[in-house]
Amino acid sequence: MQSQTASDAVDYAASIPNNVNLAADRRVLKALDRWHSTYLDWWRQMGPAGFQDALVYLRTAVGVGKDNWAKFDYVKMPEYRWGILLAPAVAERKIGFGDHKGEAVWREVPGEYRGMLRRLVVIQGDTEPASVEQQRYLGKTAPSLYDLRNLFQVNVEEARHLWAMVYLLQKYFGADGREESNELLSRRAGNRDKPRMLGAFNQETPDWLSFFMFTYFTDRDGKMQLESLAQSGFDPLSRTCRFMLTEEAHHMFVGESGICRVIERTCRAMVDAGIDDPHDIGAVRKLGVIDLPTLQKKANLHYSLSLDLFGAELSTNAANAFSAGIKGRYREDKIDDDHRLTGDTYPTLRLRAGRAVLVDEPALNALNMRLRDDYTVEAGRGLRRWNNIVEKCGIRFIFALPHAAFHRAIGEFAEVHTTPAGDLISEAQFNAGRGQWLPSAQDGEFIASLMKPQIEPGRYAGWIMPPKTGINRMPGEFEYVKIAS
């Protein structure tokens, strides 16, 4: 490992790799050592099923600088070095928004905001193990060793992000934090009696297309939330989230590149077979690829589920967190305004006289709406890349994000039904059109029929293209996962 500056130094030889001087904090180190045992039990029960003894070519964080912060090597996942890593502190950093704008950032939890901060940390922490639980069986149907390795990289890094939130709970929230840390390992994705806290993290991830859509849409929500928390006036939370964003980028890459590879494979198969109608679903599926309308339906589902993660369009809780200086807007430090929002308004989607219309609302209350809009802009960029692939193949089909009112369970449109275009319809009309807009049981059965594992180095399932480049510049036939016999 290359030498690092003092601000970037990580004690990688410690039982828990860290750059927060855990060795000098015996209380927290002891608590984390106890939690580690429970965590490993959870990982063995709920981590990737059937691959605990496999050697996986994984990236492990060994620093927090911009360069050479990770190393690649084979490791068994239960032996992965999950660590506590915070981005370097910014000298003389000030709170950048809210009522405390301009004041020095907090190194300890301000008493008046203790409950609010703990809640935000717990919610973020709860999403991390949830995605591991949702994806635990996917390894058995991996389309290649490359994809299998990417799945496991996402899994171990989501678990490291759990460690990041647990450290904050153990370090700064005393007995309450220890209790919350244990609860993070007792909830289960999709469990009827003790589910995860947010709806999207209780959905099944039954196939690899769902995984790619999840890492494209839902992990992008995670990015937006982390970017907002990285603005926090509570400096340990800000530094934690800034480093998490370094790892999160790969998760979205897995989703975006995976979907592009699926689309390209479908389009090439159609061209080779002389099929120019993307809606001739039967003919396309006979080629052993996923038809474009089904890809659109999967996008509709995962986008709408991800929108619910932003909460209601108008939120007093979001306003309070902003005013307190705890959670900012997306890239708050790049916004050109007074960063207090006193008297400001923001166009917010509301239901008025049976129509979805934009209404100017107090900007403080509309923070969720603004963050969701930023998310939609980012998500839309990926769809332009999808459409470029289709257009280059000469196929007439356009992917589009559905209207923000479509298929919602939280917020202004939770109690109404709309088409993907946003037209309000009755429940009966929605149920009649559901199969055209959202994946049906038959769609799921077809996709499942394609999910045959391909575990020979350099080989790929027929429904997806190989990647353009390998991980860490490895050749195409590289054995990314050595599966135990």
Q: Where are the domains of the chain?
A: 6-482
The token duo for 170 is: 């153990």
Across the strands, what pairs with 346?
A: 361
How many angstroms separate the Cα of 149 from the Cα of each of 110, 245, 396, 438? Answer: 42, 20, 34, 29
Give the per-residue pLDDT at 172: 97
Flag whether pLDDT at 66 surpasses 90.
Answer: no
CA distance 391 to 345: 39
Model confidence at 9, pLDDT cuts 50, 70, 90, reads: confident
Tell me whether residue 76 is exposed, middle or buried, using C-beta atoms within 10 angstroms of its C-beta: 0 to 12, 13 to 18, 19 or more. Answer: middle
- For the chain, the first-to-last Cα distance in angstroms comes to 32
Flag whether pLDDT at 5 surpasses 60.
Answer: no
pLDDT in tens, 14-38: 989 999 999 999 999 999 999 999 9
pLDDT in tens, 350-383: 999 989 999 999 999 999 999 999 999 999 999 9
Domain 6-482 fold? Ribonucleotide Reductase, subunit A (1.10.620)
The token duo for 247 is: 């790892």
Give the per-residue pLDDT at 68: 82
User: Quick one: average pLDDT of 236-247?
Assistant: 96
CA distance 150 to 418: 36
Give the per-residue pLDDT at 3: 36
Q: How far does CA 152 lie from the centroid of its chain?
A: 14
User: Quick one: average pLDDT of 144-154?
Assistant: 98
Angle 136-253-374 (CA atoms, 0-180°, nearest 5)?
Answer: 105
CA distance 43 to 173: 24
pLDDT in tens, 72-120: 999 999 999 999 999 999 999 999 999 999 999 999 999 999 999 999 9
pLDDT in tens, 135-145: 999 999 999 99
pLDDT in tens, 387-442: 999 999 999 999 999 999 999 999 999 999 999 999 999 999 999 999 999 999 99
CA distance 281 to 133: 32
Give the per-residue pLDDT at 457: 96
Residue matched to tokens 């008025």: 352
Radius of gyration for the chain, computed over Cα atoms and rounded to the nearest angstrom: 23
Model confidence at 8, pLDDT cuts 50, 70, 90, reads: low
pLDDT in tens, 39-62: 999 999 999 999 999 999 999 998
Task: Dihedral sign for Cα 474, 475, 480, 483, please.
Answer: negative
Q: What is the mean pLDDT of the chain?
A: 96
CA distance 256 to 383: 9
Among 3-7, 190-194, 466-470, 474-478, the least confident range: 3-7
User: Quick one: average pLDDT of 296-302?
Assistant: 98
CA distance 197 to 203: 12
CA distance 416 to 427: 8
Give the per-residue pLDDT at 259: 98
pLDDT in tens, 195-231: 999 999 999 999 999 999 999 999 999 999 999 999 9
User: Quick one: average pLDDT of 327-332?
Assistant: 97
Query: Kind of pairing, strands 55-61 and 417-418?
Result: unpaired
Give the per-residue pLDDT at 67: 81
Give the per-residue pLDDT at 10: 87
Flag whether pLDDT at 6 surpasses 60.
Answer: no
Q: Are 424 and 399 a contacting pair, CB within 8 Å?
A: no
Closest CA to 318 of 360, 383, 372: 372
CA distance 73 to 92: 38
